[in-house]
A and B are shown apart, each in its own frame.
Chain A
Amino acid sequence: MYQIDDLTKTYRQGKREVRALKNVSLTIGDGELVAVQGPTGGGKSTLLQMLGGLDRPTSGTVKLDGKDLAAMSDTQLTAARAETIGFVFQNFNLIPTLTALENVETALVPSKIARQSRTARALAALDSVGLGDRGDHLPGELSGGQQQRVAIARALVKNPKVLLADEPTGNLDEETRDEIVDLIEGLWKEQGLTIVLVTHDSVVAARTPRRLRIAKGAMKELPA
């Protein structure tokens, strides 16, 4: 799924340069579930941005299904994000003014499908995360775990090839964390998704078949 070669990302803050990723090379196969661990500031989120086409590498290539994200135009990147990549964030990042159902629908807006089938698909996605009856609730009316479920439904409603999750359980208590990890694991098994899951929770990481560790921009594979 992903073929990453000699990836370097440098942030410039005035005169100071921060090398968030240093010559990272990595291959992630189709349908893999990979956990990325590491200390804070190590470069986990930066790697996820490169994988998700949210930002461009300073050098190196990030091939998704053989196509280099670094070489794509803005329009192509937007299309890739809209169709192929699903995101889940630590803070859920739901639109506070839209209901749960509408939030899920926002992910289908770029694909310009008819309103009715859009709503139907969003409802089905909400159902699959166990919130079929909460569609008309605003995010503020839902618990953290429920909000993250809505966010997962939003990420998956478009049937992406990869799911990128940045600390999806970072803001949840242990019990809810396990529920969410169960959910992600279940979806992975069911749908054959490729999932990259950033976490510094070793309990979460322990449940994944493959683990990576990034510290100071350098990446290494952890033994299974």
Chain B
Amino acid sequence: MFFTYLRRELRNRRKQTVVVAIGLAVAIALVIVVNAVSTGVKDAQSEVLASVYGVGTDITVDQPSEGPVAAGSSPGRFDFDEGEGEANEDGTRDLSDDRLSTAMGTAPFDASALETVAGLDHVSGVAASLDLENMSFSGEMPDLAAMEESGAGDVTLRMGQDGTGDGSAGGSSFEINRFTVTGVDPDAAAVGPLTTAEVADGRTLEADDKNVAVLDATYAEQQELAVGDTITVGGKDLEIVGTVSSTTGDGVATASDAYLPLATAQTLADLADQVTDVYVQVDSAENVDAVAAAIESELPDASVSTQSDLAEGVTGSLSTASDLVGTLGTWLSAIVLAAAFGLAILFTVSGVNRRTRELGTLKAIGWSRNRVVGQVAGESVVQGLIGGAAGLALGVLAVWAVNLAGITLSGASGGLTMGGASEMMRAGPAGTVQGGGTAPDGGGGGAFGERPDAFAGAAGDAVDIVLQAPVSLWIVLAAIGLAVLGGLLAGVVGGRRAAKLRPAEALRSLA
């Protein structure tokens, strides 16, 4: 009788049943989608981290610096002495330079940190890398002497978004090339930046490699370089022995444009026994914080970041998506859920009010209060289940559509890139050449200004990831649980009303 009566009642008030079920379905679908997408975005974040720091890296150690540090001079600053280069007849000089230095904001530190970290408890793997930037400059600049005579004004030079620049004003014409270089330890296979890279062509670095380079496949294609060609790094021509691509997805760039054996990188950058990053693998997740703390006390100058710290540093559309899904999505699903619950309660209560005489009659003919309450609550719960099932279907369908749409998120880890292409375009002062004629001391020759931070980022460092939103068993159970909860809530409110109903209501002559 319970189920017969329940089914008949729900069918009789079809409209309310459908409205309540749809309300719950939409709310539950939203919960599923928001959860799936935010899980997907989180996965994407950890993929960004993995592609930058490598798989299995729990902690990274680096050392921030106030200003740029490099052997000899600032990175990104080309100083040419007066009279350097070859003078041309038209009053310009041919100049070229090729410099390898650490990236903006990072300072190299002694490789002994590696042993220090390796000696700590719960550390299961360590690797070091030396992150560098290679800048090359070649072209002609106005001859200082000629400039002074003619009194020409400032000369402006622009930089393109790929880190190259050229200019021709004021008699100068030159090219600036920039790419990122990472010195890696070929022995440390388990940890480090190359763990998410796979060989695309040729081979990867081997233990006794020297003076060779492996390029990021995307970069190699851009630069039209192939295995067997050479690339000039820090003024030295290195043979390209292989190219690697990211395991994250097709056409996704790896963390660096070029990879060298650590020792080669150290020699070329003139940074013997120096590294910029240490990658640490911890034996189990619960020890990560303890190990991070231990490293911090052993290496007071170092900046120690755990995976979760790093996740906060992920920038780009990824972090926007993450924020959006996190806050807006959660609020939206909470509001819709509350509205759906409210709707379910409202309809249940109005249903009980409408059925005052009917329910009173059941009490009058001997139905216990619990039986009547159970009947009313049962109707609500079944309504919730219908909504839950529909919501589950709707949600899974929506998630499937999201996955099918192949939404691409682009993210970069904050430590490595700052700013995108457009910022670089606007970086006016960065490209301003202090023309020889106005050089205050006259001794600097064709020195050009410090790059602002924006320039430290190259678009190539951002990682594109296709959003894959998973639907977990837990969220399916939680969604059904929410639907039942909504039904129960309505049932309890409606049931309380039904419980208070006097059986004497059955005798009321007016319907």
Interface string of A96-132 (1 = CB under 8 A from B): 1110001001110110000000000000000000000
Contact B504 A105 (CB under 8 A): no
The yes or no answer to A95 lying at the interface (CB within 8 A) is: yes
Most buried by A among B12, B361, B371: B361
B503's partner among A54, A86, A109 (CB-CB below 8 A) is A54
> Which residues of A are found within 8 Å of B504, using beta-carbon distances?
49, 54-55
B4's partner among A48, A87, A98, A158 (CB-CB below 8 A) is A98
The yes or no answer to A45 lying at the interface (CB within 8 A) is: yes
Known: A78-B369, A83-B366, A154-B365. A97 touches B507 (CB 8 A): no
Nearest-neighbour CB distance to chain B for A120, whole angstroms, equals 15
Known: A81-B364, A87-B364, A106-B365. A93 touches B506 (CB 8 A): yes
Contact B365 A95 (CB under 8 A): no
Q: How far is the CA of A154 from the CA of B362 in the complex (A)?
A: 11
Most buried by B among A106, A107, A167, A170: A106
Interface string of B1-15 (1 = CB under 8 A from A): 100110011011000
Contact B1 A97 (CB under 8 A): no
> Which residues of B are found within 8 Å of A78, using beta-carbon distances?
363, 366-369
Q: How far is the CA of A155 from the CA of B364 in the complex (A)?
A: 10
Known: A97-B5, A105-B1. A54 touches B357 (CB 8 A): no
B357's partner among A93, A158, A167 (CB-CB below 8 A) is A93
The yes or no answer to B358 lying at the interface (CB within 8 A) is: yes
Interface string of A172-205 (1 = CB under 8 A from B): 0000000000000000000000000000000000
Nearest-neighbour CB distance to chain B for A53, whole angstroms, equals 8
Count of chain A residues near B, Cβ 8 A: 36
Residue of A nearest to B11 (CB): A97
A106's partner among B11, B12, B362 (CB-CB below 8 A) is B362
Contact A107 B366 (CB under 8 A): yes
Nearest-neighbour CB distance to chain A for B329, whole angstroms, equals 40
Known: A54-B506, A97-B12, A109-B1. A91 touches B362 (CB 8 A): no
A82's partner among B8, B366, B502 (CB-CB below 8 A) is B366
> Which residues of B are found within 8 Å of A107, using beta-carbon distances?
365-366
Nearest-neighbour CB distance to chain A for B12, whole angstroms, equals 5
Contact A96 B358 (CB under 8 A): yes
Residue of A nearest to B362 (CB): A106
> Which residues of A are found within 8 Å of B371, using beta-carbon distances?
109-110
Nearest-neighbour CB distance to chain A for B355, whole angstroms, equals 9
B365's partner among A82, A90, A170 (CB-CB below 8 A) is A82
Other A-B pairs beyond A90-B509, A95-B358, A106-B365, 18, CB < 8 Å: A49-B507, A54-B502, A54-B504, A54-B506, A55-B502, A55-B503, A74-B369, A79-B366, A82-B367, A93-B358, A95-B5, A98-B5, A105-B1, A106-B1, A106-B362, A109-B371, A166-B507, A170-B509
27 contacts across the A-B interface (CB closer than 8 A): A54-B364, A54-B503, A55-B504, A74-B369, A78-B367, A78-B369, A79-B366, A82-B367, A83-B366, A85-B366, A86-B365, A87-B364, A87-B506, A89-B507, A93-B361, A95-B5, A95-B358, A95-B361, A96-B358, A97-B9, A102-B4, A106-B367, A109-B367, A110-B371, A155-B365, A158-B366, A167-B509
Interface residues of A (CB under 8 A from B): 45, 48-49, 52, 54-55, 74-75, 78-79, 81-83, 85-87, 89-91, 93, 95-98, 102, 105-107, 109-110, 154-155, 158, 166-167, 170
A-B complex: 9 closest residue pairs judged by Cβ atoms: A82-B366, A97-B8, A93-B361, A54-B504, A81-B366, A110-B366, A54-B503, A97-B12, A55-B504
